[in-house]
Structure 1
Amino acid sequence: MIVPVILSGGAGTRLWPASREDHPKPFMRLPDGQSLLQKTYVRAASLIAEGGEMLTVTNREHYFESRDHFAQASLNRHRARFLLEPQGRNTASAIAVAALVVAAEHGEDTVLVVMAADHLIHDLPGFKAATEHALVLARQGYLVTYGIRPTAPETGFGYIEAGDNLDERGGCRVQRFVEKPDQATAKEYLESGRFLWNSGMFCFTAGSLIDQLQQHAPELLELARACVALSPRGESAQMQELHAQSFAALPDISIDYALMERSDKVAVVPAAFDWSDIGSWNALRELVEADDQQNRVQGDAIFINSRNTFVQSQGRLVATVGVDNLIVVETPDAILVAHADCTQQVGQVAKRLKLENHQAYRLHRTVSRPWGTYTVLEEGPRFKIKRIVVKPGAALSLQMHHHRSEHWIVVQGMAKVVNGDTPLLINSNESTFIPAGHKHRLENPGVIDLVMIEVQSGEYLGEDDIVRFEDQYGRVQ
């Protein structure tokens, strides 16, 4: 049996402002309309039969959006399961917990194919061929990593030095893992022919992984066992929340440092497929077709006397005049202008914003919620205007605000509302007023999206002014 394990974490700060802490890189839409996470789900599904299971390890705050992306990928003949982390603890802890869960349910001979949710691979047949090669070695007890043949002296990737051959197809023992090198060293690695890029993808049986952790990282394994024991399956067979306190005790360390660099049972298979970790705006730019002046655009843009420039616009028209080799990214609340040679430094912007507690590091104007989305249209002293979209059959929590009142106007669909002690139905072009301190709930009983305009007024309009009494998504403490 094969269980693909998808690691969906990280902030993707080098792709700010499109990637935010609460809307990280896996959820970004590529030029073809699919997200990186959806593409990963499709890639994982290619490895298993109908009815097979995929396991996603992600933050509990991203569960509902991840579930939506899975459904949008049209994989209704496969089963999606989710392990929900209360906080990020890096890849070693995530993989250890996943292996223990899979071993308990399906046996230690089950093969895990571990992949990141934010990588891009177009060549599915090549990916499947590399995985078939990796499966042979995994069933012999090896911890197998996928090595990408380098095409340039890339300094943004880690490298793997291949050692003794294990088969006629190029599978080798791993001699050593190497951190991101400088330009001169990367050039030496490329010319030697012995080095591969470290893709961060793995293949091993659950039992082999557990055995090697027992030998080389026993404390991590015991902490993972304790966490799984305290994390029973919930009412939904689809998801399992990891126990917060015991998971926080796990070390924040990568699987490379915790195990792969210590074990003598690590092998590498050379992968011939295309691969990108979409680690910068330059990588994303290459996905868009260029014009005669090597300008590329996703959205609405005009280029005047401009060359080698990439524009991504989410709403407004962007015009460039007399520029060369720029990256311009426009979102409703932020604009990035960067020289294409400096895109690896974009992460510093997100770090600065986080230090200054600026909301642009964390949220977009449009925010996903389990029930739908809300978009902040305008705000100022003592007022905020939102566009709220509620999915069919979905409902917000029964809640109350201490500091703000709300005026709801239905634009599309029908709203089922609880306002204090009064239940009512509100049709399109009708409204209701929610005073501060009133318990209230909003529900969409229809079969189309409910669209509303919400006008908030009061002395404090922060999103944390919510007291929840009942919630179908488990958000009541």
Structure 2
Amino acid sequence: MITPIILAGGSGSRLWPLSRSLYPKQFLALQGNRTMLQETVLRLSNLDVSAPQVVCNEDHRFIAAEQLREIESNGSIILEPVGRNTAPAVALIAEITKNNNDPLLLVLAADHTIENKAAFTHAVNQAVQLANQGKLVTFGIVPTEAHTGYGYIKRGKSLDNTIIEKTQSESYQVAEFVEKPDSKTATQYLESGEYYWNSGMFLFRASRYLQELEKFRPDIYVACKKSLEKTSRDQDFIRIDEQEFSNCPNESIDYAIMEKTDDAVVVPLDAGWNDIGSWSALWEMNDKDSRGNANIGNIILQDTSNCLIHAGERLVTAVGLEGMIIIDTKDALLVASKDKVQDVKNIVEELKNKNSDEYKIHREVYRPWGKYESIDNGHSYQVKRITVKAGEKLSIQMHHHRAEHWIVVSGTAKVTNGDNTFLLAENESTFIPIGIIHALENPGKVPLEMIEVQSGTYLGEDDIVRFKDRYGRI
């Protein structure tokens, strides 16, 4: 049995403004109706796997839980109090699962795409044979171009049938891992046929991984063991000791183990893999019109070629463009040359330094109970559209600096306003004064839609004092 580990951290800054700190690319549906996290889970359907173990951070926990629920996956979610790269993240799962039949661990990133699911399944099944022999397997992507944005794996000696039986696929000892090359070196790698792109995907047995980690990086091994001595469960989430995990070094599996072990093996994977690390990569993957444009949304073009244009809710038009990226959202617009998209991260860094909301969140913000969208704001007021899912309830709370006026647009609201609890139907409203304890619930079977008008001297989301919350946010 294989236990999938899906690493769902990261901010995906190169895909701003769609990907943001509090809603990064792994939770977006960049192709089709499923998000990248959901596609990663569904890709496992033809393998003998247990429920996935998803690793993410505190800010993304409810997004991950909801997306797993939507595809009826009952996986566990381990919350990293701080990001410490892949070696510690996988060590946590390995330590948790080693005494439960010591499973094979299939390590996957939540933000990769794979077009050929059958080829992926075949490569994993081949890797299972190697992992059962005590090998630590990485998957090397068969390169299609001299790409300078990926690290590479050089293959060594071919493994014969004494290790791999009944398979026509290749597998090799790892000769070395190499960093992202310049264009000339990448061309040499491609022409040699001996190099693969480093996918960051792995398969090994839990106990075997921990053996090598303890051997080569005992500091990481000890820190992860200590951080698991104080764990707690909260709904779908497993929390670990923040102080102990914060002391853990920040290190990838490649550096911590794979470059040091004698048992590193690479299985080639030719399955239409892409990590969608930039807007140009998304352009390459999408269907295009007769002039090479990848269009998403309501778009009209004239004399425009080889562009990626993503329209949000508005009509987007373009005239006389070549090789451009245009990404339109409700609160931000990106216009970039396709050969400069790697520099989008610099825009994100500038927004971060200015503490701009556009770096962190969208106007539409998801919560475990539903979502809200900021539709207008001024010096001392803010207007939101709030959607509460059927049967869900916001926390019992109060505000020190703002009052709120609620107007029900559709559905039924159960409102606690001070000492009174009552129902509001469509076109009915209530006023919540400053300092009054209140709560909002949807007791119905359909979503509750309402407009909230906030007024006061401070309207930040941190002006919330919670007294009771079913989602553990107190």
TM over 0.5: yes
Structure-2 separation of matches of 1:416 and 1:46: 44
Q: Is 1:31 matched up with 2:31?
A: yes
Q: 1:240 aligns with which of 238, 241, 248?
A: 238
Once the two structures are TM-superposed, the CA of residue 235 in structure 1 deviates from its matched residue by 5.6
Aligned to 1:463: 461
Which of 107, 111, 115 pairs up with 2:104?
111
Pairing of 1:3-42 with structure 2 (within 5 A): 3-42=3-42
Counterpart AA for 2:142 = R
Secondary structure class of the residue paired with 2:358: helix
Q: Give yes or no for contact 1:31–1:298 (8 Å, CA) kept in 2.
A: no
Aligned equivalents of 2:44, 2:225: Cα separation in 1: 26
The answer on whether the counterparts of 1:89 and 1:251 sit within 8 Å (CA) in structure 2 is yes
Alignment partners' CA distance in 2, 1:272 and 1:293: 28
Distance 1:93 1:33 in 2: 32
- Deviation track 1:230-286 (CA, whole Å, cap 9, x = no partner) reads 114x264x3211221111111112111111111111110011211000001011123
Structure 2 unaligned segments of length 5 or more: list them. 162-168
Query: 3-state DSSP class of the match of 1:83?
Result: strand
Partners of 1:68 and 1:336 lie apart in 2 by: 29
8 Å Cα contact 1:288/1:298 also seen in 2: no
Matched residue SS, 2:150: coil
The answer to whether residue 89 in structure 2 is matched with residue 94 in structure 1 is: yes
Deviation at 1:60, TM superposition (A): 2.1
* Residue 80 (structure 1) aligned to one of 75, 85, 95: 75
**Quick check: 2:234–2:472 contact (8 Å CA) kept in 1?**
no
Q: Which residue of 2 aligns with 1:229?
A: 229
1:269 equivalent in structure 2: 267
SS at match of 1:457: strand
CA offsets 1:52-93 (integer angstroms, 9 cap, x no match): 3111011122122112111222xx3x5311111122111111
Q: Quote the residue 2:51 is aligned against.
A: 53
Q: Does 1:349 align with 2:347?
A: yes
Which whole-Å CA distance do the structure 1 matches of 2:311 and 2:218 have between them? 49
The CA RMSD over aligned residues, in Å, is 1.2
Distance of 1:167 and 1:392 partners within structure 2: 57
What is residue 439 of structure 2 aligned with on the other side?
441
Query: Would the aligned equivalents of 2:68 and 2:74 in 1 still touch at CA under 8 Å?
Result: no
SS at match of 2:273: coil
On the 8 A contact 2:119/2:271 being kept in 1, the answer is yes
Q: Quick one: distance in 2 between partners of 1:437 and 1:370?
A: 24
- In structure 2, give the amino acid aligned to 1:10: G
Residue 314 in structure 1 maps to residue 309 in structure 2: no
SS in 2 for 1:53: coil
Query: Are 1:165 and 1:172, in contact at CA under 8 Å, matched by a contact in 2?
Result: yes
Q: Quote the Cα distance in structure 1 between the aligned partners of 2:68 and 2:112.
A: 16
1:340 paired residue number: 338
| d(CA) in 2 for partners of 1:132, 1:281 | 32
Contact 1:227 1:246 in 2 (8 A): yes
CA 1:45–1:63 in structure 2 vs 1: closer, same or farther (change >3 Å)?
Answer: farther
- 2:139 matched residue in structure 1: 146
Aligned partner of 2:146: which letter? P
Separation (CA, whole Å) in 2 of partners of 1:239 and 1:459: 36
SS of equivalent to 1:44: coil
2:155 equivalent to 1:157: no
TM-score, normalising length: structure 1: 0.96
Counterpart among 259, 269, 286 of residue 284 in structure 2: 286
User: Which AA in structure 1 matches 2:354?
Assistant: E
Cα contact 1:384–1:455 (8 A) shared by 2: yes
SS at the partner of 1:346? helix
List structure 1 runs of 4+ shifted beyond 6 angstroms: none
Partner of residue 184, structure 2: 184
Q: Residues 358 and 438 of structure 1: is their aligned pair in 2 closer, same or farther, counting only changes over 3 Å?
A: same
SS across alignment from 2:366: strand
Contact 2:415 2:438 in 1 (8 A): yes
- For residues 167 and 344 of structure 1, the distance between their equivalents in structure 2, rounded to whole angstroms, comes to 41
Structure 1 vs Structure 2: percent identity of aligned residues?
45
Q: Specify the alignment match of 2:120 in structure 1.
A: 127
Aligned length: 467
Q: Deviations over 1:29-53 (max 9, x none)?
A: 123121111100101343236xx31
Q: Distance in 2 between matches of 1:164 and 1:339?
A: 43
Of 461, 469, 472, which residue of structure 1 is paired with 2:470?
472
Flag structure 1 segments of 5+ consecutive residues without an equivalent. none
Verify the 8 A CA contact 1:60 1:241 in the aligned structure 2.
no
Q: Comparing 211-220 with 78-87, which one deviates more in the overlay? A: 78-87
Structure 2 distance, partners of 1:249, 1:46, is: 39
Q: Secondary structure at the match of 1:429?
A: coil
- TM (norm. structure 2) is 0.97
What secondary structure, in the 3-state scheme, does the structure 2 residue paired with 1:374 have? strand
Corresponding position of 1:372: 370
**Partner of 2:382 in structure 1?**
384
Superposed CA offset, 1:208-246 (max 9, x none): 1011011101111011001111114x264x321122111
Asked if the contact 2:135/2:204 (under 8 Å) is kept, the reply is: yes
What secondary structure, in the 3-state scheme, does the structure 2 residue paired with 1:338 have? strand
SS at structure 1 position matched to 2:274 = coil
Rounded Cα–Cα distance in structure 1 between residues aligned with 2:303 and 2:51: 52
1:136 and 1:151 mapped to 2: Cα distance?
A: 27
Post-superposition Cα deviations, 1:444-475, rounded to whole Å, max 9, x if no partner, equal 11111011100000111111111111100000
Report the 3-state secondary structure (helix = DSSP H, G, I; strand = E; otherwise coil) of the residue aligned with 1:229.
coil
Question: What is the match of residue 165 of structure 2?
Answer: none
